[in-house]
Structure 1
Amino acid sequence: MNDEKRDFDSEALTRDKEPARVKLSNDVVQAICGLISLTSDMNVLDFGCGTGLLTLQIQPFVRSITGIDSSQGMLNVLDAKISKLGITNVRTHLFDIIRGVLPFGEFDLVVSSMTFHHIKDVSLLLKAMAGVIHSSGQIVIIDLDPDDGKFHDSNEGVFHFGFERSIMKKLLEEAGYDSIREKTAASMQRVSPTGETRGFSIFIMVGRKST
């Protein structure tokens, strides 16, 4: 695992052209809707929103959604989409991954898809998220089951080679969440640099902030 920061800005313009990522975002939305109800009175935080593939699918069902990311390049792509579509209930926020400063305010739901394996101190982040979720609000984490470090072509900026679900559940409980549920959200096929096709399992885990 590599402590160097990956350059996501350079990937921003091609992110939406990857069919596997688009399919994954569709599968993730279906998995989310299978476990929780998205309602018009919800204020949502999408942590690690990237170019907004997930953000913009959640947007029509909720009051507001804030997409945050550590890559300004990714946010620029999302901002351009928001402007083109004339959407008024989505805003973006650059996340300082060093300081770990989350937006002010309270959210009914925090969702994070395929981002936690890039976070060094998962426990610290989960506790910070609890600080911006209102009482009885929910958190949704979508990430890799253990992948032996083979999901990415390069493990630059990767701190976890997937997660054992039991370990993630324990981290959530320690950070102040209960009523935790999980299931397999999707599977994803990727071709390695050597031409080998590999399959990866992706879980979704939902927790409610303890009152």
Structure 2
Amino acid sequence: MSESWDDYAQCWDSNETVILYSHKAYESLVNIVDLDGSNVLDFGCGTGLLTQRISEHANSVVALDPSEKMISVLTDKHLPNVKVINSELTQYLLTCTEGLCGSFDVIVASSALAFVSDYQATLNLLKQLLKKGGLLVQWDWLKDNDEPGIGFSKERIELALKQAGFSKYSTSVPFSMESPGGSMPVIMGIAEHS
């Protein structure tokens, strides 16, 4: 997966659609959570467009992405309260990286979870990283269950969150992106580690 994302790294931050998506995700995030003083994990952070916005308010941000070139672009931004990790999310990473498990108030995954090889297993790992009362917030393209392509249905997200052991969760469509083919709605899943 990371090799294909490496190909986009140098022009990612100048892509107007990517910038707008990141802006809209951030706006929908601050409508549901106060980031001031929080410890945040940005899962699938890419070049850090969302990371940078979050870091302006959060106490600390861990930015995780498997693409070496995406992480390199983020590292070159020299954000003082951001720690970058160039890796896939695995149980081994959680076990061997001190201070990861149970340390985050908020985990964000902006257009990232639809690209992992095992959505359910990834949610299970992300839950281990949350503090009690912490929130997991994901944004992905909304699609019907039987529709081809990248994204999730409301039912798929809610079932996966339930199976990951979240007792409080919800979905909404906070924004849409316009494309030549029409409007593309974005679904947001929110889950609390209770």
Any idea what SS the aligned residue of 1:180 has? strand
Partner of 2:13: 16
State the alpha-carbon separation in 2 of the partners of residues 23 and 59 from structure 1: 18
Partner of 2:190: 206
Partner of 1:174: 163
2:141 to 121, 141, 144: 144
Partner of 1:52: 48
2:115 to 115, 118, 131: 118
Cα deviation digits, residues 116-136 of structure 1 (max 9, x gap): 111121110111111111112
Cα deviation digits, residues 85-141 of structure 1 (max 9, x gap): xx3211100123677734542111111000111112111011111111111211011
Structure-to-structure mapping, 1:46-195, within 5 angstroms: 46-82=42-78, 87-96=79-88, 101-102=93-94, 103-104=97-98, 105=100, 106-146=103-143, 148-149=147-148, 161-191=150-180
Structure number with higher relative contact order (C-alpha < 8 Å, ≥ 6 residues apart): 1
State the alpha-carbon separation in 2 of the partners of residues 176 and 98 from structure 1: 18
User: What is the root-mean-square deviation of aligned Cα atoms in Å?
Assistant: 2.0
Q: One-letter code of the match for 1:70? A: P
Structure 2 unaligned residues grouped into runs of 5+: none
Cα deviation digits, residues 44-71 of structure 1 (max 9, x gap): 0000000001000111111000111010
Runs of 4+ in structure 1 off by over 6 angstroms are: none
Structure 1 unaligned residues grouped into runs of 5+: 151-160, 192-196
User: Cα offset for 1:178?
Assistant: 2.5
CA gap of 1:111–1:90, structure 2 versus 1, over 3 A, is same
User: Cα offset for 1:181?
Assistant: 2.5
Identity of aligned residues (%): 25
Any idea what SS the aligned residue of 1:96 has? coil
